[in-house]
Amino acid sequence: MNTYLVAAAVLAFIVGLVHSVLGEMMVFSKMRQGRIVPTNGGTVLQQRNVRILWASWHVLTVFGWSFAAVLMLLASAPSAGHLQASLLQSIAVAMLVSSLLVFFATKARHPGWLGLLGVAVLTWLGIGR
């Protein structure tokens, strides 16, 4: 079992969980009006904008968990050579670019970039092991 990939998978799952839970607590609870899907965007966002923002927020968590599942499968699979390395490189690059986007967009004030960077590094270290 590739421990780097297991660690990357666990970290990706945790980042997704924290992302959704804290998003609900810190962002969407203020926009919710007794419904599951928040709709109150104040004077800035229309109802349809709040709805897609909420959906997109949680889609990112689903994608993160999907990456975690793929990493866990690859951690326990025998090396498939070039295909496996290519998949892992793609995941590592996606997580690295995501980390950089969060870093620059928030001027490093949002801790999500660290979690994403951790997944990228662990995934990269797991290639070929």
Q: 28 — alpha (psi -120 to 50), left (phi > 0) or beta?
A: alpha
N residues, the chain: 129
* CB atoms inside a 10 Å sphere around CB 122: 23
48-105 pLDDT per residue, tens: 999 999 999 999 999 999 999 999 999 998 887 899 999 999 999 999 999 999 999 9
12-21 pLDDT per residue, tens: 999 999 999 9
- Distance set, CA 46 to CA 43, 57, 123 (Å): 8, 17, 39
What span, in angstroms and rounded, lies between the C-alpha atoms of 18 and 1? 26
What span, in angstroms and rounded, lies between the C-alpha atoms of 79 and 70? 14
- Distance set, CA 17 to CA 29, 63, 68 (Å): 16, 11, 12
98-119 pLDDT per residue, tens: 999 999 999 999 999 999 999 9
